[in-house]
Structures are given as C-alpha cells and as structure tokens.
Amino acid sequence: MLHPEIEKRKTFAIISHPDAGKTTLTEKFLLFGGAINTAGAVKRNKANQSNTSDFMEIERQRGISVATSVMGFEYNGKRINILDTPGHKDFAEDTYRTLSAVDSVVLVVDCVKGVEEQTEKLMSVCRMRNTPVIIFINKMDREGKEPFDLLDEIEQKLNISLCPQSWPIGQGHTFKGVYSIYHNQLNLFHSDKTKVTDSVVKVNDLNDDALLDYLQEKEVGTLKDETELVNGVYGDLDISMYKEGLLAPVFFGSAINNFGIKELLDTFIEIAPSPRHREAEERDVMVDDKNFSGFVFKIHANLDPKHRDRIAFLRICSGKFERNKFYYHTRQDKKMKFANPMDFMANEKSLVEEAWPGDVVGLYDSGNFKIGDTLTEGEKLHFKGIPSFSPAIFKEVENMDPMRTKQLEKGIEQLTDEGVAQLFVMQPGNRKVVGAVGELQFEVINFRLEHEYGAKCRFRTLTYSRSRWVTSDDKKKLEEFVKRKQQHIGTDKEGNPVYLSDNDFMIEMTKRDYPDIEFHTTSEFK
Ligand code: GDP
C-alpha cells in the first residue's frame, strides 16, 4: 500500500501536434478542477506573461508557448499535476524532457487531420519509456474522418493497440454527443464554451427506452451497431496493458465546446497510474522510499526580468521534500537548502512547505542546476531517462564583440545548461558548435545573449544534420576512431565524443567502416 499522498497524485502531460487542441483541453481540465473560473484564462495568462518580460515577447509575437510550466489542482480527491509542453516543433526536445517527468500522457488527435508528424514523434518518445497513453480525438463538431478509419490510422501509424471508451453519435453538423462505454452513460452535446454543464443522461444500456427521449430511433440503431462492433473488435479495457504502455484507451469529444472532457477526466483519474518507481543508474528508486530524491527536468530563465534568477523544475521521485532542509546536489557534490520552493496549484505559484512524489517544485536557482541534476538526502544517484536527442541543425558560434568574450562564453554555457540547445566543442581551436531542433532556438539564443548577457554572436550554419554518440567496448578502437574522424567529432558537455554527420547514408557508411564502434541516437547509452 502506497502512502495516501502518493496514491492520490496523477502527474501527466497533454501532448499533440500543434493546433490539435492541447491548450484548449488543458484549459477545460483546469475548469473542471476549479483551478480557473472561465475559459480563456490559460491563454490570457500567457499574454500577461509576455508583457512582463522581453523574452516572452518572442512568445507573444509568434503566438507559441516557449515555456513549459506546471498546473496543479484537486479533483475528486486526487491531486492532478499537468505539465505543460511547448507546442512549437522547434521546442520538441523541451517536450521530450518534460515527458521524463510525467507518469502518463493524454495525446490529442485532430479528427480532421488524423495522425500528424509531431503526433508520431511524441508517441515514439512515450514508447521509449513505456509511458501509458490515453488518446483524445478532438474536434468532433467538425466534419472529419470516420471514427473507425481514425482508429485504424492511429493503430497503424502509432503502432499501439486501442480500446475506445466512448463513442461519438454523429459527427460535424450531426454530432449529438458521446456514449460513455466505460460508464454506460449518454452525454448530450450542448455547445457551451465557458461553463461546466451537466448534460449527462444515465442509461442502463443501449436498450433503455430513455434514449429515445433524446435521440432518434435511427441514431440509437447506429449507436448500437457501432458499439457492438467496437466491443467485438476492441474488447474490454485491459488496464494492466494500458499501464505498461501497450494499449491506449480512446475518447472522442470537442474540447472547445467542453464536450467529452468530463468522461475523459473521470476515467483518467480512475485508471491513470500514480507515481511509480524510477530507474537510476545506481538502482531502482522506489516511490515509497523513505529518503527524498528528485531530478531537474526543466530550467526556466528570467521569469521576472528584475531578477536574474532562473527557476529549476524538480520532479520528486521518492520521499518527502521539505522547505529549508539540506539536500545533496549529486553532480556538484554539495549540500543545498531551499528557502522559497514554489508550488503551482490553481495556476498560481505559492510557497510550498512539503511536496510528495509526483509533485513538481520550482527552485530559485542562480546557476547551480543543469537539466538532469539529482537531489537526494546524501546518496549519489543519477536518474535515467533524461537523454539529449540528436539535433537537426548545427551552427558554429562566431563572436561579434571581442570585448564581451567572457559574457558570450558564460551565456552559451548557461543557456545550454538550461537545455535551450546543445553545445559541442570541436577541435582544433575549441570551436563552439550549437545544435538545436529548429531555427527558432537560434533566434532565442541570439535574443537572450544580447538581452541577458550583453553579448553578440553570429551563427555559421554547418552541413551537419545528425549527431551520434559513439562508444566502444574497445577503448583503443574508440580513440582511433575519434582521431581519424577528428574533423567531425564534437565533445558534449559531459565530455562524451559525438560524431556529426550530414545524413543517414554517411552514418551507415561509417558504421560499416568501423564495426567496433557503437552509434547512439541519444546521449543515454549506459
Ligand atoms: P494547441 O496548439 O494544440 O494547443 O491547440 P489549441 O488548443 O490552441 O487549439 C487550436 C485551434 O483549434 C484553436 O483555434 C481552437 O479554438 C480550435 N479548437 C480546439 N478544440 C476544438 C474543437 O473541439 N472543435 C473545433 N472546431 N475547434 C477546436
């Protein structure tokens, strides 16, 4: 039996290809949780943030969410922590890292567009960690793809078994509501964008005459046929398979119209996993371990331009975190305590006295933390599952203001510690190469270097488009490889050699030429 405080926690992320409805769904969850009172609050909040800092101005101008934040609320006796992820694809790595800090995800799919590029990428990251996934098929008020076709497409493209838990009655202009297979309820569609409304009709089963008060006979007939087919094809929900990440329950609805959300949320809190044990390099860390442990998965800079402090987001993995208690910073081998740790309940930050596994606390940081850092009560632990991924764009840093060389170096060092992009050092000449997923990150770096560090640089684009971390059981062979390929080798922040390449073909050729070398697509290869 887990401690009730751990048991009641559900920490997850809502993820989607941009525009599928992630922000809208997040907002509706907060609305049901009473964390906000009116729809629009999440977006309004975003706008406020952008007024308070120059950095956020970029976000406002481009209408994207650069930051990842945390929103906690209580719902039906559970403590829900939603970790928000940036929608823009250039910030995908930020999203991947946030996924290391959640216990499950809700994946939003647009019923008109079906599975999109980011949907597939996000799913593959979930699969790396066997993260349990619930799928929400959104925008059923639009004329989209047929539900059965959508399910086939999702199963094929995302390579996961599905089990529908609700079924739509009509679609687009004929959309009447959803039937909750999980709870045997009929939910009728009232388009209501701002309030939580109850429009649930309880029925015993689909033969219940009460249905005819709300639906036409033909609609009831179609619903019966289709749910029978669903039962036959997909069967009952196997919760243990869901928890292993092998099977995804599916819900239909319309986030903007507040429809199908409650069914999703109610089932979510019933079946979504509470915090679980985590793998560290040294051992498995049990969630009910007496001793506290946690890791940093996100560093947020300059929330308030008047203070240069950063905020490190710490996911608690075991034990209990307490304010003003000394904890051990594993990488820096030193003790630290936190006088003002923050909690993010009800979409506002406030001082937190104690926090439990599954919770995320914000720690003011003046430069002590790096992504992946671990805090414990004295044990040396390194949590797994927070790797760097191969960037897609590589650019060499050219200093544009020799009088500010120190500031530039510090800026590049700190921004890459924050995980904005990755830094590789190349020889000869200790050249600094920044690798990122998209162009936008270089713009952000340039902007921040200028505004926060007073440094100026130019980025010279290199031909590389992939990186592979290289290892070998034979140390000599690795040394030889690194020497031979020196012009394409960068060293990452941990001092690991990384082979940079223009394309997959070149990687394959090199693999063939050097059979004793192993090539890894992420920095986690131990
Ligand atoms: P995100 O980029 O995934 O966060 O997507 P948003 O939540 O910002 O939504 C993208 C657009 O889709 C916005 O214009 C929303 O108003 C719209 N949208 C969200 N949910 C629905 C829905 O259920 N039906 C329709 N028709 N539009 C929706």
The model's pLDDT over 273-296, given as tens digits with 9 standing for 90+, comes to 999 999 999 999 999 999 999 999
Q: Indicate the SS3 state at residue 165.
A: coil
Atom 24 in ligand 1: residue holding the nearest Cα: 139
Provide the mean pLDDT of the chain: 87
Nearest to 134 by CA among 229, 248, 29: 248
Report residue 500 as tokens.
């940079």
Nearest to 86 by CA among 111, 130, 56: 56
Report residue 448 as tokens.
């921040």
- Return the CA Rg of the chain: 24
- Residues 30, 42 contacting (CB under 8 angstroms): yes
State the DSSP string of 247-315. Answer: EEEEEE-BTTTTBSHHHHHHHHHHHSPPP--EEBSS-EE-TT-SS-EEEEEEEEE-SSTTS--EEEEEE
User: Quick one: which atom of ligand 1 is closest to the CA of 16?
Assistant: 3
pLDDT band at 307 (very low <50, low <70, confident <90, very high): low
CA 21 from chain centre, in angstroms, equals: 15
Residues 6+ apart with CB under 8 A from 240: none
Other CB atoms closer than 10 Å to residue 2's CB: what's the count?
15
- pLDDT in the model for residue 337: 95
pLDDT band at 198 (very low <50, low <70, confident <90, very high): low
- pLDDT in the model for residue 306: 58
Q: How far apart are CA 482 and CA 471, in angstroms?
A: 10
- pLDDT in the model for residue 45: 40
pLDDT greater than 50 at residue 49:
no
**Residues facing 284 on adjacent strands:** 279
Segment 165-179 mean pLDDT: 89
pLDDT greater than 90 at residue 252:
yes
- Residues 98, 83 contacting (CB under 8 angstroms): yes
- Residues 436, 422 contacting (CB under 8 angstroms): yes
**Do the strands 9-16 and 104-110 form a parallel or antiparallel pair, or are they unpaired?**
parallel
- Residues 314, 294 contacting (CB under 8 angstroms): yes
For the ranges 57-61, 376-380, 424-428, 517-521, the lowest mean pLDDT is seen at 57-61
Atom 26 in ligand 1: residue holding the nearest Cα: 139
pLDDT greater than 90 at residue 335:
yes
- pLDDT in the model for residue 51: 33
CA of 433 to the centre of ligand 1 (A): 37
CA of 110 to the centre of ligand 1 (A): 9
User: Quick one: which atom of ligand 1 is closest to the CA of 25?
Assistant: 7
CA of 24 to the centre of ligand 1 (A): 6
State the DSSP string of 201-234. Answer: EE-SSTT-GGGGGTS-HHHHHHHHHHHHHHHHHH
pLDDT band at 102 (very low <50, low <70, confident <90, very high): very high
Residues 6+ apart with CB under 8 A from 133: 104, 105, 106, 107, 123, 126, 160, 245, 248
Segment 180-191 mean pLDDT: 75
- Residues 9, 356 contacting (CB under 8 angstroms): yes
Highest mean pLDDT: which range of 31-35, 193-197, 497-501: 497-501
Q: Buried b / exposed e across 385-400, counting CB within 10 Å, b at 16+?
A: bbbbbbbbbbbbbebe
pLDDT greater than 50 at residue 421:
yes
Among 16, 108, 256, which is best to mutate for testing ligand 1, by the most ligand atoms less than 8 A from CB?
A: 256
State the DSSP string of 351-370. Answer: E-SEE-TT-EEEEEESS---
Q: What angle do CA 435, 438, 444 make, to 5 degrees?
A: 85
pLDDT band at 246 (very low <50, low <70, confident <90, very high): very high
**Residues facing 489 on adjacent strands:** 499
Other CB atoms closer than 10 Å to residue 521's CB: what's the count?
14
pLDDT greater than 50 at residue 118:
yes
Check residues 344 and 25 and name the one with the higher pLDDT.
25
Segment 11-31 mean pLDDT: 90
CA of 347 to the centre of ligand 1 (A): 20
Report residue 284 as tokens.
């498995």
Q: How far apart are CA 219 and CA 326, in angstroms?
A: 63
User: Quick one: which atom of ligand 1 is closest to the CA of 26?
Assistant: 7
pLDDT greater than 80 at residue 168:
yes
pLDDT band at 506 (very low <50, low <70, confident <90, very high): very high
- Residues 263, 251 contacting (CB under 8 angstroms): yes
For 89, the enclosing helix (H) or strand (E) is: none
CA 195 from chain centre, in angstroms, equals: 27
Q: Buried b / exposed e across 166-193, counting CB within 10 Å, b at 16+?
A: bbbbbbeeebbbbbbbbbebbbebeeee
Binding-site residues from annotation for GTP: 16-23, 84-88, 138-141
Does residue 428 have a cis bond before it (omega within 30 degrees)? yes
Check residues 501 and 450 and name the one with the higher pLDDT.
501
pLDDT greater than 70 at residue 237:
yes
CA dist 397 to 403, 425, 437, Å? 16, 10, 16
Segment 53-59 mean pLDDT: 47
Query: Within 6 Å (CB) of ligand 1, which residues are found?
Result: 16, 18-24, 87, 138-139, 141-142, 254-257
Q: How far apart are CA 312 and CA 298, in angstroms?
A: 6
Among 15, 16, 23, 24, which is best to mutate for testing ligand 1, by the most ligand atoms less than 8 A from CB?
A: 24
**ipTM of the prediction:** 0.99
Q: How far apart are CA 65 and CA 86, in angstroms?
A: 5
**Do the strands 247-252 and 133-138 form a parallel or antiparallel pair, or are they unpaired?**
parallel
- pLDDT in the model for residue 30: 84
Residues 6+ apart with CB under 8 A from 182: 165, 166, 237, 249, 263, 267
- Residues 136, 108 contacting (CB under 8 angstroms): yes
CA of 98 to the centre of ligand 1 (A): 22
CA dist 227 to 181, 454, 492, 517, Å? 8, 62, 53, 53
For the ranges 180-189, 350-359, 441-450, 504-513, the lowest mean pLDDT is seen at 180-189
CA 219 from chain centre, in angstroms, equals: 39
Percent of the chain with pLDDT over 70: 88
- pLDDT in the model for residue 208: 82
- pLDDT in the model for residue 262: 85
